[in-house]
Chain A
Amino acid sequence: MAEVNYVMEALKFMVLGMGVVFLFLFILVIVVELQAKLIAKYFPENTPIKTPATPAVDTEDESRRVAAIIAAVTEFRKNKS
């Protein structure tokens, strides 16, 4: 029986291993790119609408509340006198 050349075997492992790793990652890249396109098309993000709106509402709310307090206090003082 011929002596097995283990270095050759190891080189074969290398070809197989690197081939599978690259194949796997290559398919992964394609799928992920496709997925990004599909998601961008069918589920566009709509985040920018919300953010600027909140602080404006807040300040308005605050001034209204202050106005209400002032009104209440003046009414109370009027009643007292």
Chain B
Amino acid sequence: MRLKQLLISLLFILVSLTTMIQADEEHKGANEAQTTAHKEYHPKSLSELGVSFLETTGIKAIVDTNDGEMSSDPAGESKEHKLGAFESSFGRIIMILIVFLLFYLAIAKGFEPLLLIPIAFGGLLANIPLAHMAGPEGMLGVIYNMGIANEFFPLLIFMGVGAMTDFAPLLANPKTALLGGAAQFGIFGSLVGAVVLGFDIQDASAISIIGGADGPTSIFIANRLAPDMLGAIAVAAYSYMALVPVIQPPIMRALTTKEERQIKMGVQRRVHRLEKLLFPIVVLMLSIMILPESTPLIGAFAFGNFAKESGVVDRLSDTMQNSLINTVTIFLGLGVGSKLAADKFLVLESLGIMIIGLLAFSAGTAMGVLMAKLMNKFSKEPINPLIGAAGVSAVPMSARVVSKVGAEEKPGNVLLMHAMGPNVAGVIGSAVAAGVLLSIFK
């Protein structure tokens, strides 16, 4: 009985296979006229072979600036152009050196290695002559089209970040959420700065989002508003996030007095499990009502957090926090790296982006600290102004920096949990700010 069934099914498979092959052959026959057939092979002498090989080496492609090589773009030929003399020679070499600098920063200095390594390696691959890895058929181009051109990867990252975030410190002291709002001044302040510097207002908005100190949000917005600058914006966002321990402390010290930095904050209350469970829903409901433009980001974030706090789908939340976010990080990094090709990155605008990015981070930090000072004046419970600096998102780096500076001023003063409140509020704040920018340019 079994054997009979097996034989019949085998027969079916065979029949369907043969018909498929026949169909395929017919298809091929129809297409033969269009597809380029094998070139007829002419016998070549050894010297001819050698010369034709030399024509295809990378050295030749770099030295010969006038070989008519095309740039590659994931969007395809419509966006490609003939490479200039600089772009196809020194440009590549400079970019490869920049990539090596990024490697150095990531490995020796520990600057966001999880992202800088894939991004920088993607940049290295994108600068290989003749291989067209960033083109629509190259590896980087395929990755780019798969998840960056359609904003899918940043959302997946946001989901993972949501699953990793614990909102208890924010729920214990909700008022500190306002600090996360104040720090978003970095975005809008630098928007004005970018316009003054001469950027088009739409490009300026895309650049200023670096002030949100949030990698996925920056990529999301850059892709919508100024896709050509994506590489520079992402690299600026991630490098400044890595530089948070260098940029923030001087600003924090300059704007506060010694007494203020030594303020001790009370112990946080215990947070009920239900509060944590309801929080992502509350945030999502608010964004649905006020700013649906921000719901792709906040929705993904809320889903990740809800899965974590529900407590019944640990397997899913574990996947989001670990394997999924790691996989996506690899793709995101390589895809962003494809925009580090010399013809896209070595433009004057990149320098402007770097300057505005620094401005944005500093302005955000300063405004957060000032807002915390103000709140300290009017609040019943003491608030250490340092925690305002954690309002720029950069989770959890800036909260750690705050804690470190606080502990330096007064040993034993642990501000970490207090700084986490504005820190996670900063993530929500920058997603809202992103939504506002998107709603303006709809």
Chain A residues with a Cβ under 8 A of chain B: 6-7, 9-11, 13-14, 16-18, 20-29, 31-33, 35-36, 39-40, 43, 45
Contacts and interface: CB of A to CB of B under 8 A. Distances in A.
B286 A13 contact: no
Nearest to B183: A21
B331 to A, nearest CB: 30
A10 B436 contact: no
Contact of B432 (A13, A24, A33, A36): A24
Interface stretch (B48-56, B169-177, B226-234, B303-311): B169-177
B46 interface: no
Contact of B201 (A9, A14, A16, A25): A9
Contact of A17 (B174, B278, B286, B436): B436
Contact of B272 (A21, A23, A40): A40
A71 B286 CA distance: 68
Contacts of A39: 272, 274-275, 278
Contacts of B436: 13, 16-17, 20-21
A10 B195 contact: yes
A17, A21, A26, A27: residue with the most chain B Cβ atoms closer than 10 Å: A21
Contacts of B428: 24-25, 28
Contacts of A29: 174-175, 177-178
Contacts of A23: 290
Contacts of B270: 45
A18 B274 contact: no
Interface string B259-297: 000000000001010110011001100110011000000
Contact of B171 (A18, A22, A36): A36
Contacts of B388: none
B184 A28 contact: no
A35 B172 CA distance: 12
B321 interface: no
Given A10-B204, A20-B436, A25-B429, A45 B290 contact: no
B189 A25 contact: no
Contacts of A7: 192, 195-196
Which 4 A/B pairs are nearest by Cβ-Cβ distance? A14-B188, A10-B195, A25-B181, A10-B192
Given A11-B192, A18-B188, A24-B286, A33 B178 contact: no
A16 B174 CA distance: 23
B432 A35 contact: no
Contacts of A21: 181, 184, 429, 432-433, 436
B252 to A, nearest CB: 21
A26 B290 CA distance: 12
B213 interface: no
A17 B171 contact: no
Nearest to B429: A21
A49 B433 CA distance: 45
